[in-house]
Amino acid sequence: PASTAEPCPGDLAVGGVPLAEIADRFGTPVYVLDEAEVRERCRTYRDAFPDTEILYAAKAFLCRAMIHWMDEEGLGLDVCLAGELELAVTTGFPAERIVLHGNAKSPRDLETALRLGVGRIVIDSPSEIARLAAAVGPHGHQKVMVRVVPGISAGGHAKIRTGTEDQKFGLSISDGYAQHAIARILDQPQLELTGLHCHLGSQITSVKPYLAAARRLVGLMARLHEQHGLVLPELDLGGGHGIAYRPGEQALDLTTLARKVRTELAEACAAAGLPVPRLIIEPGRAIAGPAGIALYRVLAVKHTGNRTYIAVDGGMSDNPRPALYGVRYAPRLIGRRTTAERAPVTVVGRHCEAGDVLAADIELPADVRPGDLLAVPVAGAYHLSMASGYNLVGRPPVAAVSDGRARLLVRRESLDDIRSRDVGL
C-alpha cells in the first residue's frame, strides 16, 4: 500500500477548543459548529455580493443559534415548508426577510406562511396560484416569485440537479408553463409578482451555468415586458455554490461569480431595455458546510480479505450523503499523536446495512484502534438536516465553539425522545 510516514498532528483545535475535549464533554458522535467560521462566511458573501439579498438556505442546517447568527449578520432566510419557517419566526427572525419554497406546499404550509407574514412565497406549480389567492383573500396582499426551469444542467450529482427540464421543481420556460402561470398570477390582484426564481442544483463548481441562467431569466423578463408591460424588480438565482470536501478540491469562486453575474445581468438587461433587477442568492452549503465537523469514536477495526474496515459510532443516520450521492470525505485521526505509516482503510458506520460507508478507500494511520477519535471535516451542511432515526440510535448533538469555549446548541436525541412519540400498543 502507498504510505507516508507523516506524523499525525495529534490534537486539532477549532474555535480555540481541542476537538478531543469536545468529544469527552458531549460524547460521540457529536457535530461541532465553528461560530466564527459561519459568521465569516456570511461576511464573505456580503463583501462579494454588495446590493444583493443573501438568503441562507435553511435546509442545509438549522437551529435557533444559526437563525440568530443569520439575523445578526444581516442575511435573509430561504425556508422550505412550514417547519423551518415557524422555527425561524418563533426564534425572532423577521418574517419579511424570509422566502418560502416548496414544490408541494400543504394547506398548513400556506396557512403558516400567511399567518406569520412571510416576505415572499415562491410559486412552484399552477395549482398553488388559486389556492394561495383564496387563502390570502380578496382584500389581502402577498408578494410572490415564480420558480422557473431554465433548462440548464449543473450540480454535483444527478439527484441534486434542479435546473433541467425533467425534474419535479419549477415551471418550464421552453414549454410555456412558466409564462402561463405568470399570466394567471397577474390576474390575481392580491398577489404581487416581484420576480423570477431559479435554482440550478447544488454543489456547482463552475460560474458558467449561473451566467446562462441569468441570460435565460432576463430573456423571459424581456418577453413578459413585451406581453404584459411587466417590469420585475427582483431576480433570484438560487444557491448551489460548491465547496471543497477534501484537500485539493476546488470551491466555486464567489468573487468571480459575483463579478461575472453582475456583468452578465447588466449586459442582458441593457440589450433588453430593462432596468437591472435586484439580485437574490440562496447559499446554504457554502455557509454551513465548511464550518461543521463530525466527531466519531472508533468502535471496531476489522480485516477482511485485503481491506481494513474501521467502524465508528455514527453512520448513515447522521450522514446519509456518501450513501445517497457517493460523496467522498477525508476523515482524520485526532486526539493522539502517531508516527504510524498510513494505510488504506474504509470507514463505516454501525447501522444494519452494508451501504453504511462513511469514507471508502481512504488513508489513515495504520495503528487506528478502538477508542480513537475520527474527525470528518466539512460536515456542517446536509448531514443533521437529513439525519434519520435508523436503528433508533438517536440523532447526535450539536456543539458550537467560539472564543475558546464550547456550548451545546442541540442536545442528543434520547431513547425517551423517541419513545415519547410511540403512543400506541
Closer CB to ligand LLP, 286 or 401, in the complex:
286
| DSSP character at residue 388 | -
Closer CB to ligand LLP, 310 or 398, in the complex:
398
Widest CA span in the chain: 73
Question: Of residues 385-424, which lie at the interface with ligand LLP (CB under 6 A)?
Answer: 386
CB 56, min distance to ligand LLP, A: 9
Tell me if 282 contacts ligand LLP by CB under 6 A: yes
Tell me if 321 contacts ligand LLP by CB under 6 A: yes
Tell me if 105 contacts ligand LLP by CB under 6 A: no
C-alpha dihedral, 394 to 319 to 247 to 400, nearest 10°:
-40
Query: Quick check: helix, strand or coil at residue 372?
Result: coil
* 309 has binding-site annotation: no
C-alpha dihedral, 203 to 206 to 207 to 211, nearest 10°:
-90
Query: Quick check: helix, strand or coil at residue 230?
Result: coil
For ligand LLP, how many residues bind (rule: CB under 6 A)? 22
Tell me if 45 contacts ligand LLP by CB under 6 A: no
Tell me if 41 contacts ligand LLP by CB under 6 A: no
Phi, psi of 21 (to 5 degrees): -65, -40
Query: Among residues 152, 182, 147, 180, which one has the least CA distance to residue 166?
Result: 152
Please tell me the distance from the alpha carbon of residue 35 to that of residue 292, in angstroms, as a whole number: 9
Question: Of residues 285-304, which lie at the interface with ligand LLP (CB under 6 A)?
Answer: 285-286
Per-residue binding letters, 181-210, with ligand LLP (x by CB under 6 A):
------------------x--xx-------
Length in residues, the chain: 425
Q: Which residues pair with 278 in a beta bridge?
A: 234
Q: How many CB atoms lie within 10 A of CB 406?
A: 22
Check: CB of residue 10 under 8 Å from CB of residue 4.
no
Tell me if 241 contacts ligand LLP by CB under 6 A: yes
Per-residue binding letters, 62-81, with ligand LLP (x by CB under 6 A):
----------------x---
Applying CB under 6 A, which of residues 26, 69, 93, 382 lies at the interface with ligand LLP?
A: 382
CB 139, min distance to ligand LLP, A: 30
CB 286, min distance to ligand LLP, A: 6
Tell me if 101 contacts ligand LLP by CB under 6 A: yes
Tell me if 84 contacts ligand LLP by CB under 6 A: no
Tell me if 57 contacts ligand LLP by CB under 6 A: yes
Tell me if 149 contacts ligand LLP by CB under 6 A: no
* 245 has binding-site annotation: no
Please tell me the distance from the alpha carbon of residue 272 to that of residue 225, in angstroms, as a whole number: 9
Tell me if 240 contacts ligand LLP by CB under 6 A: yes
Query: Among residues 64, 38, 59, which one has the least CA distance to residue 291?
Result: 38
Residue 143 one-letter amino acid: K
Residue 96 makes CB contacts below 8 A (sequence gap 6+) with 117, 118, 119
CB 295, min distance to ligand LLP, A: 19
Closer CB to ligand LLP, 26 or 69, in the complex:
69
Q: What is the 3-state secondary structure (H, E, C) of 398-416?
A: EEEEECCEEEEEECCCCHH
Applying CB under 6 A, which of residues 119, 150, 170, 239 lies at the interface with ligand LLP?
A: 239
Applying CB under 6 A, which of residues 15, 76, 283, 331 lies at the interface with ligand LLP?
A: 283
Check: CB of residue 202 under 8 Å from CB of residue 155.
yes
Closer CB to ligand LLP, 277 or 283, in the complex:
283
Residue 36 one-letter amino acid: A
C-alpha cell at 35: 461560530
Options 28-36, 54-62, 82-90, 222-230: segment touching ligand LLP (CB under 6 A): 54-62
Query: Among residues 73, 76, 84, which one has the least CA distance to residue 38?
Result: 73
C-alpha cell at 88: 425561524
Tell me if 238 contacts ligand LLP by CB under 6 A: yes
Indicate if 269 belongs to the active site. Answer: no
Location of C-alpha cell 403512543: 423
CB 46, min distance to ligand LLP, A: 16
C-alpha cell at 360: 471508502
Tell me if 342 contacts ligand LLP by CB under 6 A: no
* 277 has binding-site annotation: no
Check: CB of residue 178 under 8 Å from CB of residue 171.
yes
Options 6-14, 62-70, 233-241, 348-356: segment touching ligand LLP (CB under 6 A): 233-241
Active-site residues, by number, are 352
As annotated, the binding site for substrate includes: 285, 321, 325, 353, 382
Q: What residues line the site for ligand LLP (CB under 6 A)?
A: 57, 59-60, 78, 101, 160, 199, 202-203, 238-241, 282-286, 321, 325, 382, 386
